[in-house]
Structure 1
Amino acid sequence: MYEYISGKIVESSPAHVVLENNGLGYFINISLNTYTAIKEVQETTLVIHENIREDAYTLYGFFDRQERELFQLLISVSGIGANTARMMLSSLPPEELRVAILTENTNQLKGIKGIGLKTAQRVIVDLKDKLGKEQADEKLFAGADNTIRDEALSALVMLGFARAASQKAIDKILSAQPDARVEQVIKQALKMM
């Protein structure tokens, strides 16, 4: 299983990227969200989801782990395949998609190509509890803060702390001190937990 692939971007489009790593070119399917994040760079690292079927071996790449986790949750829903999940992540940013599911916004989900009323309802029923541990009205941080938030969250989870509790602590710290460095956020979160 691949966790991530780093390399030089040889070819890219809104639907795929070819990453060269040690002389091998990896064809990786991506969402529009990931394309937007990497379109200005020449080298990148993508976290990977491997989709292995009897007739195909396909790689899906994501700019961050949160998008991959949401993708994996989406494909766990009956009737949602990898390409439909990618379409959903291309139509809405991951945080908006989470909020749409948590707030049971079927109209927003139905607005995505390939998603009808029944599929939208099934996504909500299957994923609302899984995503419900996070707050639907969670503050959306700016890009720089997202990196700090993600790194701090990853470190706390690796140390064995619960994801939901870690997110609450980090959000509280960053709302009070938006310019805090990752190390400061982790230290303060450890004191709070």
Structure 2
Amino acid sequence: MARSGTANVDGGSRGNPGPASWAFVLKDDADGEVIERTAFMGQATNNVAEYTALLELLDYATAHQFKKLKVYSDSELMVRQISGVYKVKNADLLPLYEEAKELIEQLQSFEIIHVRRELNKRADELCNKSLDAEEKKLGVAAPEKKAKAKPTASPAQKDLRERCLPLIEFYAEDWRNGSPVKPFSEMLLKELLNAIEGKNSED
């Protein structure tokens, strides 16, 4: 019995090229069964990983009597190449493209659609899961995030702060009470300038 399905595919490389993985999530349109597959694939580029994900999906689909497929991918390049909008010029991608087209020809209908990454979330999660598992197996620790050092005030800055803050607090209180002797901003500015220059207010 011919089956139809809806799938999401994703491939990723940490380093591009670097450690890479592929994943697909295939839902049977008839009974809602969801098939998820993912695997680490060694060193590869992002684009090779994306094509590998599509090939793995097509291999599985044709082997399990899926004749109609609608596929979602966040790889705009691959989607446009498979759709015939872009030509495949990269020597590494050409054989993958040709293999994918041969498998697609075995289907009764096929559609591939570009989506944003957030709409391809589960396939992306599976890719990262495979990469994380491989890194853990190899003992590769995730880089630690260094806390940003807080700037340390110099003795001169601390002294200036100690002299200026009381002035600000004093005039702010006076202003709130509505009884400044002179315009608040003028007096505060004068006192702050005196403090910065190390003068006494009586000078």
TM superposition score category, shorter chain reference? under 0.3
Tell me: higher relative CO, structure 1 or 2? Use CA pairs within 8 A at least 6 residues apart: 2
Q: Taking structure 1 as the reference length, what is the TM-score of the superposition?
A: 0.24
Q: Max radius of gyration: which structure? A: 2
TM-score of the aligned structures, taking structure 2 as reference length: 0.24
Q: Which structure's residues are more often helix, by fraction?
A: 1
